[in-house]
Each structure stands twice: as C-alpha cells, then as structure tokens.
Chain A
Amino acid sequence: MTTTTVDSPAVTSRPRTTGSGPTFGRVLTAEWIKFRSLRSTVWTSSITVLVMVGLAFLMASLSTAVDDPSAQGIPASAAPMIVFGYYFGQLALAVLGVLVITGEYSTGMIRSTLTAVPKRLPALWAKALVAAVVGAVVATVAIALSALVTLPYLDGLGMTFDLSDGETLRVLGGGVLYLATITVFSLAVGAILRHTAAALATVLGLLLVVETVFQSIPHAFFQNVSPFLPGTAGSKLMMDDAGLEMAASMTSGPQLTPWQGYGVMLAWVVVLLATAAVLLRRRAA
C-alpha cells in the first residue's frame, strides 16, 4: 500500500483559488452523503417501515375475528388503523434522528464536520433538514404500504377508505408530519446531549414512559400537563373524530384540537433546536 507513494510526494499543482466555500446547498449535499453512506440509517429506516406495515397488517387481519372491535380499543375507521403502527415505528425513527448527530460525537467525526463548516450552525440546520425529509419519506412509504396491506380487510370490518375524505387525509398526512417531527425532535435532543445512550434514554423514556405515566395518573397536575407533552400533543393529528372523542372522555385535562396539538409538538422542536444551536456555538467540539 505504501510503496507507490514514498518517492512521489507530489501534490498536483493547480492555480491557487480562494474557491467558494460551504454554501448551505453544499453543506446539505454533504450531510446527505453522510446520511446515505452509513448502514445504521438504512437499517433504522427499513425497520420503521417493517414495523409499521407489519402492525397495520396484524391489526386489520386480526380485527376481523373480533366481535366488538371498538370495545377492544380497535380503531373504528380505516385511517387510524393504517397509521396504528406509528407508536412503535417512531422508536426506530427516534434512534435514527439521535444517531445522525451523536454518531458524530462518539466517533470524533464532528471535528471534521465543524472544521469544514466552522460557522457550525449550517451543519445543524442541514442535519435537521435531512432528518425531517428522511422521516417524512420513510413515513410516507410506510403509511402507503400499510394502506395497501390493510385494504383487503376493510370491507370485512365495515370500513371504507376514501383519500378525498378530509379526515382520512388529516390522519394519514398527520402520520407523515408526526414521524418527520419526531425524527427532528430526536436529533435536537441528540445535539444537546451529544451522547448516544443519554439521548436515546431521554427520547425513548419520554415517549414510552413519561408520557404514558402522565396520561394515566388521575391527578390534576398530570392531567393538565399531559396534553402538552410532545408525543401526546402531536399524535392528536392521527386520531379521527371518534378517537378524539374517546380520548376526551378519558381525561379531565385541557383538550387540544389536532392542529393545536401538532403546534405544541412543533414548539417543542423549535425550542430544543434553538437550544442545540446556542450550545453548538458555545461548546468546544
């Protein structure tokens, strides 16, 4: 490997050019190259799709054998059934979002990144954009495939599936928005904590444990805070009207509309990203 280079250290001489530097488009290209050239991102994306499609299929196929679906907590219409797998699918996307940034800290890559983009913030925005777009594309593929595998069972369940229906569109589109937002949310937490295990524990602990606990404790404080936690707030977008009514009947806390809920979730992401940006500017890498 070495013999060919020892005697010929020549560096191609080229006209000196100040050249042009890291424009946002170039930083975005670089972040996309980085994203697609890691196996972990391919894995987490694939797992998200598999989990969501698998759960939608199981839900639809098994529901046909149940006598009183609504009493079992099974969605009463097609759209919520199709996005049913979001709850577990989001975990893989959370891992993906976290790894996009903590993977650079754990390996030292962040030093190369920030040496190439010393103004630092463009690199963070580019990562956030890549995470959002990838989250949205993965969610779209997962939800489309979920719809496909669910369709054959809908007749048997007495459900109709109509994409021109506003509520159906909100639930399915909401699934895409929610999952894309969760991916960016996880990236922001990763950028603040800079440590894979800490960031994963925080995001998954919040989504799986904290939100569930807040939701289920019948105390005014928990009931008042619960609707404003990111996962609980954002997931309103994926409930049909029947689901929203049922959710309302189970809590004494404030009721957010689907879009208010998503707005709350977005606010979380904005605050966390802003915090990450301030810290990125200040901290040594």
Chain B
Amino acid sequence: MIEARSLTKRYGRKTAVDDVTFTVHPGKVTGFLGPNGAGKSTTMRMVVGLDLPTAGTVTVNGKRYAEHRAPLREVGTLLDAKAVHTGRTAYNHLLAQAATHGIGKARVQEVIGLTGLDSVAGKRVGGFSLGMGQRLGIAAALLGDPQTLILDEPVNGLDPEGVKWVRNLVRYLASEGRTVFLSSHLMSEMALTADHIIVVGRGRVIADAPVSDIIGRAEGGVVRVRTPQPDALERLLRAEGAQVASTEQGLLEVVGRTAAQVGDTAAAAGLALHELTPVASSLEDAYMQLTAEEVEYHSASPVGHLAGAGNPTVTTTGADAPSTESALR
C-alpha cells in the first residue's frame, strides 16, 4: 500500500507535483497515467526518497521508504532504464544490488532467468537496447521479492512480445496480492493492464477511479447517425446543446447526447434514420476528456497536440463539459 498525502514538489517557481493525494492498494495493478511532464516520475522518485517532497508525505506500507529495515525486500523499483553503470555487466550490477541486502547469487540467477536476460547477463550494460535495459531494471526490482512494485514506464522501448510479458508479469504479481504501481503515458496499454487508474495532469490528480468507471462515466461517447436529412437533424441536435461533426455526406457524429436521445429527437421531428450507433468511448477518449481543461487553457502543452491528433472528428469539448473531475471522484 502506497499512501501519498498532499505531496508537493516545487523546483524554484515551477510546481512539478501539486498537492497530490492518493492511495495505491495491494492486489491490484494501479496505473499512473498522464502526459509527459505531468509529474509521474517526480512522484515516484519521492516515494523512494530520491527526491525530497517540498511538502506532504508519502509512505509505503505505513513507513517512509528510507525507514524500512530492508527497502529492496519491501519495494522493488524501476525508475528509469538508465540507473545502471554502463561499464558494468548486467550480472555484476544485479550482484552488487543484491549484496546490499544479503541476497544470494541464486536469486540473482533467478531474476536473470525470469526476465530473459540469460544470454546478455555477462555483457556490459552500455551496449544494451532500451528493451534489454528495461528488463534489467525489472530484474533489479524483483531481486528482493518485494511486496510492492513501483515501475516507471516499464513498457517503454519494449517490443510487442516484451509489452505482453510485462502485462502478464504485473497482473500475476498483483494477483498474488502485491501492490503494483505502474506509470505510463500510453492509455491503450493501461486499459489492458491496469485495474485502477490515477490520472495526473500538470502535477495534479485529475481522476482516481477503476478503469471501468473512467471509461464508463466519461463524457464524450460518440453517437454515429446516418440520415438523408443531415442538415435538419444537425440543427435540432445543436439546439439541444449537442456537438455535431460531419465526416462524410449524410453521416453525423454526435457528442453529448445518448443514442436514445438522438433517436427520440429524430422521431419527434419526423426525420428518417438509416443508422444509429453508439460508439463506445475508449479509455483514450476518456483521457482526452479528462485533460481537456488543460488543453483549453494551455494549448501549447503536449496534451493539446495529442488531443488534436487523436480525436479529429470531435470538436473541442473542454469548455462545455461539466467538471469530470468531481464526477469521477
């Protein structure tokens, strides 16, 4: 269990993490989702004491990380793939890390086998690909057989096989009752891997809910309507406050109304419908929605770029959408 209370980190005038409070529970994979620069890594670094909080506290299983008698047996950490001396072999890196906790060579060999590093364990880390570096980081995190795992962008640089392996691994670890806290900026990956998601944007928690809730409750589900009288229907729907976009002649994509509401509106006006399809909103849509506010006021931020690229048919929803933050809490 990881508990952050009013965790804040400022670098000079820049606030990287802003009064963040959350709890990561055991037995689940908890995703930590946000665009680059949202404060994910800084938060994780504060959990293990590499960065000192400006204000607030964060504990792992009730204690500050540094107060644990055997930190590596308590918490396994992959902070980034570059926390290894490039001139040392993978085996010696793990051996040295293990030695600090009296963990034997047998366990070192075990985690090497587990992460599929057998063939490169004797090679210097400087020549490793990003994917091999990630595997080495995961091997180091598993050394102490810890109850809690903190993995910062573990699938970064992995091939599809590796991504699937990490997904299976973390799900298995969570099923054993361990606490797994995993960051990513890939929403699609989180949808498949995580049980619970904490979304952060610009240093603040935007949402903290089960994956299904985030997808289910999010605004922005699109209803696709095909009609011979698109102009009339569009006018009516807009009058009701819906947002309507048209990608081809006779096809409307409606945001802000359910399929039933769209159907009723059309029936009341005597308009024919040839198709009426609710398009399930993906986690990606939900994520765009959640961060839309950031987009609205900071159009130069990376989220703005993503929102534009990922959601071409939906007009900007930020200003009209009710506060999803409160809805999701």
Interface residues of A (CB under 8 A from B): 1-7, 9-14, 16-23, 26-27, 29-31, 33-34, 37-40, 103-104, 107-112, 114-119, 282, 284-285
Q: How far apart sit A23 and B70, CA to CA, in the bound complex (Å)?
A: 9
Q: Are B50 and A108 in contact (CB under 8 A)?
A: no
Q: Tell me if B100 counts as interface (CB < 8 A to partner A).
A: yes
Contact of B77 among A31, A40, A115 (CB under 8 A): A115
- Are A6 and B83 CB-contacts (below 8 A) given A20-B70, A22-B101, A26-B101? no
Q: Tell me, rounded to whole Å, the shortest Cβ–Cβ distance linking A111 to chain B.
A: 4
29 contacts between A and B (CB under 8 A): A1-B116, A2-B116, A9-B168, A11-B142, A11-B176, A13-B176, A19-B70, A19-B102, A19-B144, A20-B102, A21-B101, A22-B70, A26-B100, A27-B100, A29-B100, A30-B99, A34-B85, A34-B92, A39-B87, A107-B86, A107-B87, A111-B79, A114-B50, A115-B83, A118-B48, A118-B49, A118-B66, A118-B68, A119-B66
Q: Mark B5-46, 1 if CB is under 8 A from A, else 0.
A: 000000000000000000000000000000000000000010
Closest to A7 in B: B168
Q: Are A21 and B68 in contact (CB under 8 A)?
A: yes
Q: Are A33 and B172 in contact (CB under 8 A)?
A: no
Q: Tell me if B52 counts as interface (CB < 8 A to partner A).
A: yes
Q: Tell me if B284 counts as interface (CB < 8 A to partner A).
A: no
Please, which residues of chain A bring their CB within 8 A of the CB of B49? 114, 118
Q: How far apart sit A33 and B165, CA to CA, in the bound complex (Å)?
A: 31
Q: Are A4 and B116 in contact (CB under 8 A)?
A: yes
Residues 78-105 of B contacting A (Cβ, < 8 Å): 79-80, 82-89, 92-93, 95-97, 99-103
- Are A6 and B79 CB-contacts (below 8 A) given A19-B73, A20-B102? no
Please, which residues of chain B bring their CB within 8 A of the CB of A114? 49-50
- Are A37 and B116 CB-contacts (below 8 A) given A20-B69, A112-B97, A115-B50? no
Contact of A116 among B86, B100, B114, B147 (CB under 8 A): B100
Q: Mark B143-184, 1 if CB is under 8 A from A, else 0.
A: 011010000000000010110110011011100100000000
Q: How many B residues touch the partner, as a band?
A: 35 or more
Q: How far apart sit A2 and B71, CA to CA, in the bound complex (Å)?
A: 29
Q: Are A116 and B97 in contact (CB under 8 A)?
A: yes
- Are A18 and B95 CB-contacts (below 8 A) given A5-B114, A38-B85, A108-B80? no
Q: Are B82 and A6 in contact (CB under 8 A)?
A: no
Please, which residues of chain A bring their CB within 8 A of the CB of B222? none
Please, which residues of chain B bring their CB within 8 A of the CB of A119? 66
> Which residue, B50, B117, B119, has most C-beta atoms of chain A within 10 A?
B50
Q: How far apart sit A115 and B93, CA to CA, in the bound complex (Å)?
A: 14
Q: Tell me, rounded to whole Å, the shortest Cβ–Cβ distance linking B74 to chain A.
A: 8
Q: Tell me if B287 counts as interface (CB < 8 A to partner A).
A: no
> Which residue, A4, A16, A111, A116, has most C-beta atoms of chain B within 10 A?
A116
Please, which residues of chain A bring their CB within 8 A of the CB of B245? none
